Structures are given as structure tokens and as C-alpha cells.
Structure 1
Amino acid sequence: MPNNDRLLLQILVLALLGASLWVLAPFWSALFWAAVLSFASWPLMPLLTRALKGHVTAAATILTLGWMLLVAVPLVMLGFNLADHIRDAMDLVKDLQLRGLPAAPSWLDDIPLVGERLVALWATIDQQGAEFFDSLKPYMGQVGNWLLARSAQIGAGVLELALSLVLVFFFYRDGPRMATLVHSGLHRLIGDRADHYLELVAGTVQRVVNGVIGTAAAQALLALIGFWIAGVPGALVLGLLTFALSLIPMGPPLIWIPATAWLVWQGEYGYAVFLAIWGTFIISGVDNVLKPYLISRGGNLPLVVVLLGVFGGLVAFGFMGLFLGPTLLAVAYSLVGDWIAHDPAQQQNVETVGERVTEKPPV
């Protein structure tokens, strides 16, 4: 009978945990991002708490307000400026539909060997572009519906981000108690190796945060410099967009390639060539150098494991996979390494050899 009572208690506990997870399911993404934001900036929390003479709630409030200003103000600026640029882009598309491309520049025909071919290619693109726009007219309604659906998704993402900024306050304030709870639970589950895996997860997430956010910030700054030198309007907005798209693979070219095309359209061919080179080798090239360095710095995991986790996690879990993917692969890699290192058969052979060595030789 006691065994039946214990089994019933275990079933009730599992049911309670399942119901709790079901209740929290709509907020998983917001909880995840709040945890990432608080963890990435956690070193500031004890410093600010000491400066405020131990007032944890005040320190958490200040850091939360800092995140709100850091995230909300650029988003508002981006929203207002993006509406203006969308209007300009629509005017440009209408102009292309009516007039087509401008005449090919005179210097294009003067290029040795390939000048005539480039002029012919320019005329072909102009002709095919007009046909392309004509073929799009029957699908404009579908495009509008698609844009409306994407706008709804963006609105849901903004609400989710706002909820994350609210939840981050509680992660700041109650972070030590949460960490103690997780630490105790892992100790009950896997014993002394709990500290190792906690450090592994924390180190992996911190390195990925540094690599992803640091690289995105560097690309945004370099893009802002390039747009400013080339005289592209809305350089600050385009820099913010570059930062946002730098968080996904091959994102920055979606900004600097249209900017280069706009310069060509305006007849600024020298600046267009400059921005194309700057975008290819500087803006996009820094991703291949800085991100691997920041992610691999200070860790003992193979870089390929972390990079596969970043890209594979992005495909499997969406934007959360940037941090979830490498963490899962790092823990799995460490678990397999521990399992290989603590092979019972190998350990028994080592102990047997040790016993033979310690035996006295026969007289």
C-alpha cells in the first residue's frame, strides 16, 4: 500500500508539472529572451547593487529601464523612418514601371573588350525589368495579403519583446534564488557533475551572446560609416536595420546591396563601387573573422560544434536557436566526452594492471 501511495504521489507531481508547463507555454519565447538579456548583462547587477548599498529592487529597475531605452527608442525611430523609406521605395518602383532604367552611362561603352556587351546587358535588363513588373500586376493583391500577414507577425513580435522587457526585471531581482533552485535540482539529478554542466551552459551562452551581439554591433557601425561616406540617405536607420539583420546569416547584404543599387540609379557610380567593395569585404567580411573569434575565445569546445549549433539551432528553433542550438550541442558533446572518459571496462583494466604491478615478484 505505501508503494501505491508513492506512485500516486509521483503521478500527481508529474501531472502538476505538465499543467504548469502548459500554462507557461504561451510565454516560453518571452521568458527565454528575458533570461538571455538578464544573463548577458548580469555582471552589471552586482556592481549596481553595491553602488546602491544593497537595494536589489532599485538596481533591477534601473537595468530594466536601461534595456527599455536601449531597445524601445531605436525601434520607435526605426518605425517612423522605415515608413518614409517604404514610401520612397514605392515611388521608385512606380518610376521604374513607367520609365524603366535610365540610359546607360557613357563610360560603360568605353570599357575595352566588354563595353558593348555591358551596354547590351544594360538594355536587356531594362527590357526584362519592364516585362517583370507587368507580370507582377496580377499578383499584387497576394503580395498585399502577404505583407499584411507579416505585419501581424511583426506586431506580435513587438508585444513579445515588450513582455520580455517586463520579465527581465524579475530575472534581475530573483536571479540568485532561481540559480540556487536550478543548482540544487541538478545536484539531486546528476550529483557532483552539476557544477561542471552549469559552468558549461553559462560559458557557452555568454560566448554566443558576445559573438552574435558583438559582431552585429560591429557590422552595424561599419555599415553606418559606409552609408555615411557614400551619402546614402537614412544612414542611421540603415545601420539599425543592419544590426537587426546581422543576427541572422547573410542578413547585412539585404541592406547594403539595395543601397548600392540606389546609388547606381542616382548615377553615383563611384560611390556605388565603393559601397559594393565596402559591403563585401568589410561589412560582410567581418562576420567571418570576428564572430568565430568571440565565440571560441575562452572555451575548450571545438569551434565547429558551436558554429553548427548556431546555424542548426537557427533552422530548427528559429531565432531562439541562436543560443539554444550551441548550448544543446555543447552539453551533448560534454556528456559524450564524459561517457567515453569514464568507461567502466577501461577503468577495471587499469585497476587490474595496478594490482599486478603492486604484487611482489615470486622468489
Structure 2
Amino acid sequence: MQERLERRSFIFTLLLVTIAFGFLLKPFFTAIFWACAVALIFHPLYHYLLKRFPNWPNLTALGTLLLCIVVVVIPVLAVASSFVSEVANLYQKVQSGEINLGAKVEQVRAAFPGINAALERVGMDFDGIKERLLGGLMTAGSLIAKNALALGQNTLNFFVNLGLMLYLTFFLIRDGNSLTALLIRALPLGDEREKLLLAKFAEVTRATIKGNLVVAITQGTLGGLIFWALGLPAPLLWGVVMTVLSLLPAVGAAIIWFPAALYLYATGDAVKATVLMIFGVAVISLVDNILRPILVGRDTKLPDYIVLFSTVGGLLMFGISGFAIGPLLAALFMAFWEIFMREFISGDQPLIPPPLESPLDDLHDEGRSAAPRKSGD
């Protein structure tokens, strides 16, 4: 009795201390998450270099981190700085009247007179939509412009978090294997389950960051280049916006280049509009179908509707980092339920079956067949 009481008291105290420590680390959650993500992506490179220089783990980890800074951190900082500056300049032009958004919207309505009739059939008013659209654009521009000023004022805080992320990344790259083994030993979920869940975490994180982000950057870059080649204003701005939107399936960069093509038709630039439309359909939109299966793979890809909802929900909850955290949480949710179904319901069907129209695929890969079963099965 005394031993049971002591054990329960210890576990209760352990939970309290763990929760308190979690709140202590809450301000650094974004830095910790990105350190884990970067370490996962660059760990294969570290492992390769360590085979060539087995006696220098510290220098090998440091070299891997420096390569990460050169390849990822510096370009992202440069593009982000240019993006914020261009948004602020564009907002100032709109606010000063140099760019008249209302007149441009009216040009589109005059070029496509059927828009009013189509909207009236579904009970919508073009003028009301225009006012809401312009108000939303002005609010977004004002928010970004204010954040640009706030970013300049909080530069020290930003670089402190960046430094903490890179500092933690070094240790996660160097000690990743031992930390994973320690985590498997500490968690009370069962070693096989923990290995499966950690493998899913690593798999989805790599797929989301490396795969989806590369696809989004490629689509955004292509969109920015075609805007620049056609002489459209703010190609860097719209390229970055298309990059962000490309993270969302079923929406993508088309939400930018398609209205831009319609506007070019409305203003009489039929050649530019046709080039943009063809390039958008034949090049930008096809990048997702070509690159995503190569970089992400069919087995790791979540259904598009789950990716859409989890990405949008992640962006709302966690900010820009949510594009990776949202799908990761969705994948872990599905992994937990698949384990539950296999162990407690004895079902062999996946949590989300394939579409009926698709050919039959092998639904049980090696990772699933290695999942733990109930005792006695």
C-alpha cells in the first residue's frame, strides 16, 4: 500500500514538473520545433560526413550546420526582407493614390459585363464584393506594413530566437540518435509503438518541409519569374504570395496568376494574358503533380482535404510555422488511431481507404506490418 502511494505520488509530481517545464519552454516553442525539423532534414548529410570523418563528430556537426545556414537561413532572410520592403512600398502607393485599386476592379467589370448578371443570379452584389475585397487588401497591407516596423523594432528578439534555434540544431544533429534512444526508453507507450510514432514524425516532417516547401518555392519562383518577364508590378511580392498559397492543396498559386490573367485581358493585353494563362496551366500547376510524388511519395502523402484543413488550422494556431505543424499533428493523429484500431479492434483496414475509382494498391507496407499487435493474436 505504501509503495503504491509513493509511486502514484511520484508520477503525479513528475507530471506537474513536466507541465511546468513545458510552460517554461513555451516562448521558445517555434525555435525548438524548427531546430528539430532542420536537424531531421540535415541529419542524413551529417551521417554521410561522419562516415568519412568518424573522429570529428563536433566539426562534422558544425560543418553541417554551416551548410544549413548558407543554403537555407541566409536566402530565407534575404527574401523575407525584400518581401516586407516591397509590401510596405506597395501599400504606401495605394494609400497615396498612386495605385487606384477601385479603378482596376472597375476595368475588370467593364471588360466582363457578364459578371454582374452571374453574381445577381446567386444573390451577390458586385459592389459589395468589391468593397469587402478592397477593405481586406488594405487591412492586410496595413498589417504587413505595421509588422515590418515591429520587426525592425524587435530585431534583437528575432535574432536571439534564431541563435537559439541554430544552437539547439547543432546538438540535435550531433546527438540525434542518442536522444531518440533516450526518448524511446523514457516514454511509457511501448517501444514498438514509440518507434513507429517517431518514424512517422520524422517521415511527415521531412515530407512537409522538404517536399511541400520545395514544391511551393518552385511554384512561387516560376510565378514570380513569369510576372517579371511580362513586366507585371511587384513580381517578388506576388512570387512569395504564390509560394505561401502553394502550400494549400486545391487552392495553390492559381488564386494569384488566374485573376492576374483576367485583369490583363480586361486591360487589353491579350498576348500577355494568354502567355500567363498557358504558363500557369502548363507549367506552374503541373509542378505539383510532377515534383510532389517524387519528393513526398505516395505513402507519406496525407489526403488533400486533411492537408488543407490541417494546414489552414496550423497557420491560424501557430502562425507561419503552422504549415508544417498542422499536417504533422494530423499525421500523428492518424498514426495513433491506426495503432488503436490494429491493437484493440483487430482491423486491417487503413484509417482512410483509397478512392473506389483508383486501382488497388498494397495497403500494408513494412511499417504497418511491423506495428504491435495485441497479446494473444
Matching residue's letter, 1:220: G
Shift of 1:275: 1.0
- Maintained 8 Å contact 1:205/1:327: no
| Cα pair distance change 1:285/1:86, threshold 3 Å | farther
| Cα pair distance change 1:21/1:311, threshold 3 Å | same
The answer for the alignment partner of 1:328 in structure 2 is: 333
Shift of 1:271: 1.4
- What are the Cα deviations for residues 288-328 of structure 1, in whole angstroms up to 9, with x where unaligned? 5543564343x3x7x5x554442332233331213332233
- Maintained 8 Å contact 1:213/1:247: yes
The answer for the alignment partner of 1:317 in structure 2 is: 314
Structure 2 portions without partners, runs of 5+ = 118-125, 316-321, 348-372
The answer for the alignment partner of 1:213 in structure 2 is: 213
Matching residue's letter, 1:326: A
The answer for the alignment partner of 2:8 in structure 1 is: 7
Shift of 1:182: 1.6
Cα distance in 2 for partners of 1:293, 1:218 equals 14
Cα distance in 1 for partners of 2:284, 2:207 equals 21
Cα distance in 2 for partners of 1:14, 1:51 equals 43
| Cα pair distance change 1:315/1:61, threshold 3 Å | same
Cα distance in 2 for partners of 1:343, 1:180 equals 24
Shift of 1:38: 1.2
Cα distance in 2 for partners of 1:329, 1:84 equals 41
| Cα pair distance change 1:211/1:196, threshold 3 Å | same
The answer for the alignment partner of 1:337 in structure 2 is: 342
Matching residue's letter, 1:76: A
The answer for the alignment partner of 1:356 in structure 2 is: none
Cα distance in 2 for partners of 1:98, 1:203 equals 44
| Cα pair distance change 1:331/1:85, threshold 3 Å | same
Cα distance in 2 for partners of 1:200, 1:245 equals 25
The answer for the alignment partner of 2:169 in structure 1 is: 168
- Maintained 8 Å contact 2:62/2:170: yes
| Cα pair distance change 1:30/1:149, threshold 3 Å | same
TM-score, scaled to structure 2? 0.67
- Maintained 8 Å contact 2:83/2:240: no
Matching residue's letter, 2:82: F
- What are the Cα deviations for residues 115-137 of structure 1, in whole angstroms up to 9, with x where unaligned? xx84767999xxx88x968x979
Cα distance in 2 for partners of 1:18, 1:2 equals 24
Provide the alpha-carbon RMSD of the alignment: 4.5
Which of the two has greater helix per residue? Answer: 1
The answer for the alignment partner of 1:56 in structure 2 is: 57
Cα distance in 1 for partners of 2:224, 2:142 equals 33
Aligned length: 326
Give me the identity figure in percent.
23
Is 1:223 the counterpart of 2:223? The answer is yes
Cα distance in 1 for partners of 2:44, 2:137 equals 50
Matches within 5 A, 1:120-131: none
Matching residue's letter, 2:285: S
The answer for the alignment partner of 2:357 in structure 1 is: none
Deviates more, 1:27-36 or 1:321-330: 321-330
Structure 1 portions without partners, runs of 5+ = 106-116, 348-363
Matching residue's letter, 1:311: L
- SS of 1:247's partner is coil
